[in-house]
Structure 1
Amino acid sequence: MVGSVRPRPLILIAVPDGPHPALAAFCAVPGFETLIVHTGGSALRALYKHRPDGLILSLRLPGLDPWELLERVRDMSDLPIAVVDQVYRVADAARALEAGADDYLTPDLSRRLYGPLLRARLRRAVESAPQPASLIEDGLFTLDLSAHEAVLAGHWLDLTPTEFALLAALVRHPGQVLSADQLLRMVWDLPADSDASRVKYTVLRLRRKIARTTGAQPPIETVRGVGYRYPGPGRPVRPVQD
């Protein structure tokens, strides 16, 4: 979500009904935020919308096949995944681990061991994940991602959270054309078939603010029929193709 800062890791728990008592105890631990969903489809939507830091996936999940969901998640990211089931099966354990799960756990484990083991595995995975840099400096822009402050060639830009997030997405990909669909996902957390006009008008407002503040041509290009590009420092801005 635009401008949001997550104070604690978010763990998505995808289980068929209510969580097993051991999982319920895990949810009560203050070190994590948890989000519980009950179908494969809702799990997939939550993965795109909330970008969790870890996934607990039940093999009994209805809807989208949990094996397919596991493979799709692993194809998309290195998200820590713990697969859980009602009983321990060697074949399922091997299949889950080969498909990319980091753990395979069942209630056969002692209640006292189940929760601490799950938390330890997820905590290690979350803490070892690389954290995004909080400051971007490329010789033209200076972006403080934690404070949501942007400076262009010595000029402070008064931007809304959405305008800042859009600018950060472009500056992070110098020379690359980003389509409206890509920007909808990166900035608004919206699916590709959403209204692309919000991208167009946010770019327009961003350009106007940059031009008004600096008195210079904004370093954001429109590539007609494709998307938008920040050329990067030291590169001439091409004529706008609106």
Structure 2
Amino acid sequence: MAETVLLVDDERDIVSFMRDALEDEGYEVLCAYSGEQALTLLPRKPDVVVLDVMMPGMDGYELCVAIREEASCPILFVSARRSEEDRVRGLLAGGDDYLVKPFGLREFKTRIYAHLRRQKRDRGANDRFLRFGSLAIDARGRELRVGDMEIPLTAREFDILLFLALHPSQAFAREDIYERVWGLEADGDSATVTEHVKKIRAKIGGVEAELNPIGTVWGVGYKWQA
């Protein structure tokens, strides 16, 4: 199931800009143009909230406090206010991050992803295994097993496997996988993702020939299909 992002900003053009960027990544996006409207959407249980500071009526700080009474999901402030005092006030109100407008799409999407990844990691602290039939991934121990057999993976191979497994049925381009596994500052080529996927498939297929958890989405990239 796709993660849900709630966008809250009274500037409709900015909401549209952020919504399009997130929907391109496969997220479900809810939009609100006031604090009051945002509160009516909280029962939809968003996985992360992005909210502006300067809004008519209930401002972002007040809204953040109200959200914290009902939800523990990550909250990312986006604002043209750039002073240290504004950032500190946002964090003290219960926010997890603060991004100054104008911002780049890559940084915006990466921050959303980072908060969701951290949330998944926290949720998985008590349930360390992801199981898909005979395949089991130990996220904390960084081990892959098929039945009783451990499959040795390199660090990068395991990172790719875990990233796709945490987003079942969601297709990712090679470039997206490379950026999220290697990082924004990596200097390599996204073509290396293809080679790593081939090696992962070969190692799993060597134990159970019919098992292929990573599917190819032609013209796009790869997705978890186990």
TM-score (norm 2): 0.48
Larger of the two Rg values belongs to structure = 1
TM-score (norm 1): 0.46
* Bigger helix share: 2
